Structure 1
């Protein structure tokens, strides 16, 4: 099986957890939906191209940054309560509250991503788009620039190892790929990550996104953590990967 390996760097980045608001918390690595969205944006795809993704990487530290939050609920403007006034017709006005919130940022992020499209004819298209993007690439927020250092087409093989393999990077391990979940529950954190969505009509003219979720273990990099003997995938340069 053929795929693409991307080695990239980001200076400051937030992979926002969708349930965090006052403090915009970050996942330790980008979720599948974020990586897939970046690839589709780079290639200009207007519909979903089925693909599998492996995500691993590491960061140096975390910092918190401030951002301006605007809140509005269609309420009438009140002096002293609202900071901004939106004029409407007939002399009416809505009020907007402006405040300060916090964003969690990961510092000096190194990423190793593997992209395996279902149709291998897309591989050269994706490689060319990542090597020569029409505009700057981002991963996370729009301002989180993605510096791509390596884009390489690789051969991916399934390999059985009878020796313990150390975890060189933090890595997302899909739960269905391991037969010993208890080990990884001790080592890392369980996440339920978005991958792809479909439009679900809930009423006439109203649709919501229904996400396909992937249950993963976030296994941190450590010489003492082991990817225990199992059927695993490796690329031609020896990078371990887990596809979802």
Structure 2
């Protein structure tokens, strides 16, 4: 199995929960659609073509990262109605949440997002690796104005699969709410007070159908994912791949 790890830095990032309406809460890490969309932009593919390329090549994906805080932004947008309606579309507001990846406080670490790709086909992974070195389109972590910079791009020749409980700041495929405990040793050693929050579990799309004419997408399959914060531990071993010193759970995108 061959692998590619791409680490990004940016001012902000936002990964909209698909179920959000007037309040766009952000997920803590990019979902499968964003991970594949970023790779498609690097290669120069539309989202539909990128999704099909990942499925055909049975590419596995994962994500890991940290933010230094959150913020909220109020957007005013113009409503779009169908042509059959004659009234003025009007305007409305939406509250959008975003992650802060850059700290302005002296001595405080900045956040980062890393994406992980794996495939048994070396040629496919080489194409992805070189595309991130010279992307066709600008890469962003959310909206078009959240431009991201590749801080590092690493190649892995032989990814080893392992069973581990040592995972944090990652997505785990499945609902692990009843398989988590607090890591009190880590919590006690943290230098500042922190806020403990419940496990973040989201039902995210893992497959789409595309209109043959407009190429609009429609989610047709969902799976639960659990975000493992740094102060949580899983009670049972999970499958992961060894990217250097990191152990990353992956999700396979296949038909």
Smaller-chain TM-score bracket: 0.7 to 0.9
- Counterpart in 2 of 1:240? 247
- Find the residue that maps to 1:37 and give its secondary structure: helix
Q: Distance in 1 between matches of 2:228 and 2:179?
A: 10
Quote how far apart the aligned CAs of 1:206 are.
Answer: 11
Specify the structure having the higher radius of gyration (Cα).
1
Q: Is the 8 A contact 1:10 1:147 kept in 2?
A: yes
Gaps of 5+ in 1: 78-92
- Find the residue that maps to 2:179 and give its secondary structure: helix
- Counterpart in 1 of 2:229? 220
Gaps of 5+ in 2: 102-110, 183-197
Quote how far apart the aligned CAs of 1:94 are.
Answer: 3.8
Deviates most, 29-38 or 225-234: 225-234
- Counterpart in 1 of 2:90? 97
Q: Distance in 2 between matches of 1:144 and 1:135?
A: 13
Instruction: Quickly say closer, same or farther: Cα 1:147–1:229, change in 2 above 3 A.
Output: same
Instruction: Quickly say closer, same or farther: Cα 1:227–1:156, change in 2 above 3 A.
Output: farther
Q: Is the 8 A contact 1:158 1:231 kept in 2?
A: no
Question: Superposition RMSD on alpha carbons, in Å?
Answer: 3.1
Q: State TM-score, norm by structure 1.
A: 0.77
Q: Is the 8 A contact 1:74 1:94 kept in 2?
A: no
Deviates most, 152-161 or 182-191: 182-191
Q: Distance in 2 between matches of 1:216 and 1:120?
A: 28
Cα deviation digits, residues 141-196 of structure 1 (max 9, x gap): 222212111111113211245xx5363xx2101128xxx76223986222111233
Q: Distance in 1 between matches of 2:73 and 2:139?
A: 22
Quote how far apart the aligned CAs of 1:132 are.
Answer: 1.0
Q: Distance in 2 between matches of 1:152 and 1:213?
A: 30
Corresponding residue pairs, total: 218
Q: Is the 8 A contact 2:2 2:121 kept in 1?
A: no
Instruction: Quickly say closer, same or farther: Cα 1:209–1:229, change in 2 above 3 A.
Output: closer
- Counterpart in 2 of 1:184? 180
Q: Distance in 1 between matches of 2:170 and 2:67?
A: 12
